[in-house]
Amino acid sequence: MDAFSKIAEHIKHDTHVAILTGAGISAESGIPTFRDKDGIWTKMDPNQLASFDVFLRDPVLVSHWYQHRRKVAEEHKPNAGHLALAELEKFCKSVTVVTQNIDRYHQKAGSKNVIELHGNIEENYCIRCKKFQEIPELKDNDVPKCKYCGDLVRPNVVWFGEMLPQDAIRKASETARNCDVFFSVGTSTVVFPAAQFPLDAKNSGAVLIEINPEETMLTPYCHYSVREKSSVALTQLLEILKKKIEK
Ligand code: BJW
Ligand code: ZN
């Protein structure tokens, strides 16, 4: 039996499935990852750019960087990996996607139960009065300013040193501790607290499966490691599940 068939054996209609996703699942949509060879941050240190301090020091650089990424996300679309996860909901009554991504592609693909750990790129809020608002297209040295109080407006994402949304952390933690099967898909699992969830799931008795073309920090702890792109692996797994249902 190949790895996909073995993994499919663990998935029944009443199985609680959790999936932690990272930048790798959106790579095949044309969204660069963070730490791969051609990732966003190969020339810039993530610890240098994704922080509130840097935003305050250089709001033009950071705001324009996010504007660029917002456009890239708008111009591309979810791929077969996102669609396969959405379709998984037809086979299992409990599927929860816990994503580190800010592109909203899981929701766009049709996944109903998505926990966003690091926020999203669509929303922006004022750093002073916290009011959410639309921001205009930025040109040259523009920075987005709050229409209520005039202070800086930032993307609704979580930077290093910032707390993750409490509700997201609580739900993700519960999901990890209560699932039967936990997939880690397209993430290097180097950023905490997200990287803790697969380990929590395993410690609570879940089967831990990784889908990633490369080895990661998590690989030694996994029951199954599939060295494959997520679109290929998730589509193949779904095909096997479909055949199982038809039998
Ligand atoms: C494919 C593929 C294909 C390619 N198919 N796969 C415990 C220990 C040590 C440090 C800490 C700790 N707890 C907290 C920290 C500090 C810090 C941290 O984790 N630092 C580490 C770097 C060591 N964490 C935090 O600061 C977090 N906050 C926090 O914990 O608050 C409490 C606190 C406050 C103050 C002090 C201490 C604690 C916040 C973390 C926020 C992360 N934010 C970012 C930016 C979000 C906005 C944005 O997008 O711009 O989130 S950083 C960046 O990394 C982004 C990602 O979501 C995140 C994870 O990256 P991801 O998704 O794994 O991407 P890559 O590129 O790393 O990996 C891609 C993978 O895909 C690769 O493996 C490829 O092989 C694979 N791949 N093609 C499948 N086709
Ligand atoms: Zn304001």
Query: Which active-site residues does the annotation give?
Result: 118
The H-or-E segment that residue 153 falls in is: strand 153-157
- Residue of minimum CA distance from atom 24 in ligand 1: 192
pLDDT band of 244, cuts 50, 70, 90? confident
Give the model's pLDDT for residue 44. Answer: 67
Q: pLDDT tens digits for 80-132?
A: 999 999 999 999 989 999 999 999 999 999 999 999 999 999 999 999 999 99
Give the environment of ion ligand 2: residues with CB less than 5 A: 126, 128-129, 146, 148-149
Helix (H, G, I), strand (E, B) or coil at 120: strand
Residue 26 CA to residue 149 CA, distance in Å, equals: 36
Q: Give the pLDDT confidence of 168-202 residue by residue, as tens digits.
A: 999 999 999 999 999 999 999 999 999 999 999 99
Residues 6 or more apart whose CB falls under 8 angstroms from that of 196 comprise: none
Instruction: Report CA(51)–ligand 2 centroid distance (Å).
Output: 20
Q: Which residue among 123, 189, 192, 222 has the greatest number of ligand 1 atoms within 8 angstroms of its CB, and so is best to mutate?
A: 192
Query: The tokens of 7 are what?
Result: 């993994």
What pLDDT, on the 0 to 100 scale, is given for residue 47? Answer: 65
Q: Identify the residue whose tokens are 């993307």.
A: 155
Total-model pTM: 0.97
Q: Which residues pair with 107 in a beta bridge?
A: none
Query: Of 61-70, 166-175, 209-218, which gets the smallest average pLDDT?
Result: 61-70
